């Protein structure tokens, strides 16, 4: 059984989501991503939200984009 997106991202903090937003913004703007702290990068890689980009940085994955979408939907439900 495949875990739901909520279960796979339940351990992410608001700061982790902020980093995902920064990486997504850099990718969407076709800019180099900002340097991500090692502890944050390790955690996001562990959750499958980012991958090394081969240039010393990290790129957001489809799972990372999905996690941001899920977070946005949860925030909207709470309002």
Note down pLDDT in tens along the chain; length 79 residues. 334 445 556 789 999 999 999 999 999 999 988 899 999 999 999 999 999 988 888 999 999 999 999 999 988 888 7
Domain for residue 79, yes or no? no
pLDDT at 10: 76
Q: Is residue 78 part of a domain?
A: no
pLDDT at 9: 67
Structural domain includes residue 26 = yes
Contact predicate 21/34, CB 8 Å: no
3-state secondary structure of 57: coil
> In the chain, how many domains are there?
1
Q: Kindly state whether residue 11 falls inside one of the protein's structural domains.
A: yes
DSSP state, residue 53: -
- CATH number of the CATH domain containing 66: 1.10.10
Residue range of the domain that includes 42: 5-73
pTM for this prediction: 0.82
């Amino acid at each position: 059984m495949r875990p739901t997106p909520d279960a796979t991202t339940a351990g992410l903090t608001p700061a982790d989501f902020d980093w995902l937003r920064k990486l997504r913004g850099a990718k969407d703007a076709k800019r180099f991503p900002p340097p991500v702290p090692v502890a944050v990068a390790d955690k996001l890689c562990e959750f499958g939200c980012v991958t090394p980009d081969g240039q010393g940085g990290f790129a957001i994955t489809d799972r990372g984009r999905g996690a941001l979408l899920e977070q946005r939907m949860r925030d909207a439900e709470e309002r």
